Chains A and B, each alone.
Chain A
Amino acid sequence: MKDRLWRLGLHLLTAILLVPGVQAAPDAGTWAETLLQNSRQADYNGTIMVLQGNEQQAYRLWHEGGDGEFRERMRLLDGPEMEITRTPDRLTCVHAPGSEVPAEHDMPASPFGSLLQIEPEQLQKNYRLTEEGEQRLAGRQARVYLLGSRSDSPRLHHRVWVDTATGVALRHSRYGHDGTLLTDVRFVSFEPELGDAPAEIRSSFPQAFWHQFEESGARQRAGADDVWQLDPIPDGFVRQVEEEQDGEWYQLWSDGLVEFSLMVEPIVGVAPEPMTEQRGSTLLMSAVHGDWLVVLVGDVPEPLARSILSDISWQ
């Protein structure tokens, strides 16, 4: 019954999202390769608004492309003064003197982060790409694409606006399986050049406090399969990362466009209440399996999260 309702919802959503003039798009894999290449290699700058649930955050972004490399500066326009510089494998947070800096702080995510992590091959396998026509966005002409999952199980839907002149992603909206807008990342101004990129971070924030992060490989790969398994694996998802230490596991699963983390750890003391928390399109859901706490975090709708947490089997 639930499955039928879900299918009906999916069809309705598709009907709502598909506007007249919809036409066949290039295959999703090629489209994704091109989008990635352009969004990484072009020079551009602009102001980005991120809407996540009820939270909004504005950034100023300068992106300097390169052959296989890119360099990016991002300045937070709301809240504490902070700048972030990033290359594909290094990221530095620089806090302005006198700004509010927690003693230990988190790694910032890139506004278009998930879009720039696309795996074209997987995307092609798991998503249908539909072109919805053109729209004017941030003073630019943009082509609008809808990415819908090929799976019958509930998934988020994605709409991507691509600058027709440069091929750079201008907007990425994520919708719930019922069509609700959950996360919206968009340029509100965009220039296809570096513009007034600050010459040095130092010049912006003398005597700043900074943290640097670098990309590294997963530390250990060890078999959760001997203890627990996700079975069946949700359609299209592939395990990207598995770490284990002292009987606790971390796994990252991806379908080429979205990821979810599974964290399994022993419960010490009183078992916590299972709970859910939503931040924009990203959901956190926990479940108690006997003496184990299983936590899922990812861009998956609640029905799928429940299904995944229920589908963990123990050896």
Chain B
Amino acid sequence: MNSMKMTEQSTEQRERLSALMDDGLTELQARQLLRDLQESEPCREVWQAYHANQAALHGAPQVDVLAGVNAALDAEEAKASYVSEVRHSRWIGFAQGALAAGVCLAGILALWPLAGQSPQSGPDTVTTQLPPADATAYLPRMDSYWSRHAQFATVRTGGRWDETERSHGDDHGQESSL
């Protein structure tokens, strides 16, 4: 806790923060103070300190998981954002998960048109970035590319595998193609 920042908060502001902890403000006051809290780091530090002291008064363990929570949520959002972008790609199949390791590779594709995106590229602007040698972490978002490859690579005549039929509701037990 930075004591300079603490003192930067007026006594009145700190009293309101104390009251906010106890839901002791009117809704209007609470809304304004919460906005300050969201936007002011010194204000947040006072809030954090009061809560830490409160926990200590009760003999509770001290933790600070905010950074960890945010790192995890940032990573999730980045991934979701990427997946969302890729979903607009016509290359993605609706097959997202491998059914059995080493067996199921090829996605069965539903083609979605790209939503009007057409990045501008020209010979003068293209720079190539290749992965570093150790960039081997597993990324689930790449499943669609694996699927796409197997969909074509296992056809000898230059075609593709497409899903043409599946069981529905009560007609399970369909005869196989044999």
Contacts and interface: CB of A to CB of B under 8 A. Distances in A.
Interface in A102-127: 102, 104-110, 113-114, 116-117, 119
Given A93-B99, A106-B97, A215-B155, 12 more contacts: A57-B103, A76-B103, A87-B177, A101-B99, A209-B172, A216-B161, A218-B158, A245-B90, A282-B149, A289-B126, A291-B120, A291-B121
B89 A248 contact: yes
A315 to B, nearest CB: 7
Which residue, of A79, A104, A202, A312, has the highest number of chain B Cβ atoms within 10 A? A104
Interface stretch (A21-29, A137-145, A166-174, A261-269): A261-269
Given A105-B99, A241-B160, A310-B130, A297 B148 contact: yes
Interface stretch (B5-13, B24-32, B163-171): B163-171
A217 interface: yes
Interface stretch (B47-55, B60-68, B80-88): B80-88
A56 B102 contact: yes
B41 interface: no
A78 to B, nearest CB: 7
Given A266-B114, A277-B136, A292-B121, A218 B160 contact: yes
A61 interface: no
Contact of A309 (B95, B130, B148, B166): B130
Nearest to A309: B130
B119 A291 contact: yes
B172 to A, nearest CB: 4
Given A213-B163, A240-B158, A107 B95 contact: yes
Interface residues of B, number: 79
Interface of B: 78, 81-82, 85, 88-91, 93-108, 111, 113-114, 117-123, 125-132, 135-139, 141-142, 145-167, 172-178
A132 interface: no
A212 B103 contact: no
A92 B131 CA distance: 37
Interface in A235-253: 240-241, 245-248, 250, 252
A308 B96 CA distance: 27
Contact of A57 (B91, B100, B106): B100
A21 B98 CA distance: 43
Contact of A277 (B82, B90, B139, B173): B139
Given A113-B154, A273-B131, A277-B139, A218 B159 contact: yes
Interface of A: 50, 52, 55-57, 71, 73, 76, 78-80, 82, 85-87, 90-94, 97, 101-102, 104-110, 113-114, 116-117, 119, 200-202, 205-219, 240-241, 245-248, 250, 252, 259-261, 263, 265-270, 272-280, 282, 284-292, 295, 297-298, 306, 309-310, 312-315
B161 A91 contact: yes
23 contacts: A57-B101, A76-B100, A79-B101, A104-B94, A107-B107, A110-B154, A114-B153, A117-B154, A209-B167, A210-B172, A212-B177, A213-B164, A215-B155, A218-B152, A247-B114, A272-B82, A272-B141, A277-B136, A288-B128, A290-B121, A290-B125, A309-B128, A314-B123
B99 A248 contact: no
A107 B135 contact: no
B148 A261 contact: yes
A79 B104 CA distance: 12
A217 B158 contact: yes
B178 A85 contact: yes
Contacts of B125: 290-291
Contact of A55 (B102, B146, B178): B102
Contacts of B137: 275, 277
Nearest to A111: B103
Nearest to B156: A117
A296 to B, nearest CB: 9
B135 A273 contact: yes
B157 to A, nearest CB: 8
Contacts of B108: 104, 106-107, 211, 213
Contacts of A246: 90, 113-114
A200 B175 CA distance: 8
3 residue pairs, one from A and one from B, having the closest CB atoms = A291-B119, A106-B104, A297-B149
A207 B171 CA distance: 8
Contact of A210 (B90, B93, B174): B174
Nearest to B97: A102
A277 B138 contact: yes
A291 B118 CA distance: 9
Contacts of B156: 116-117, 119
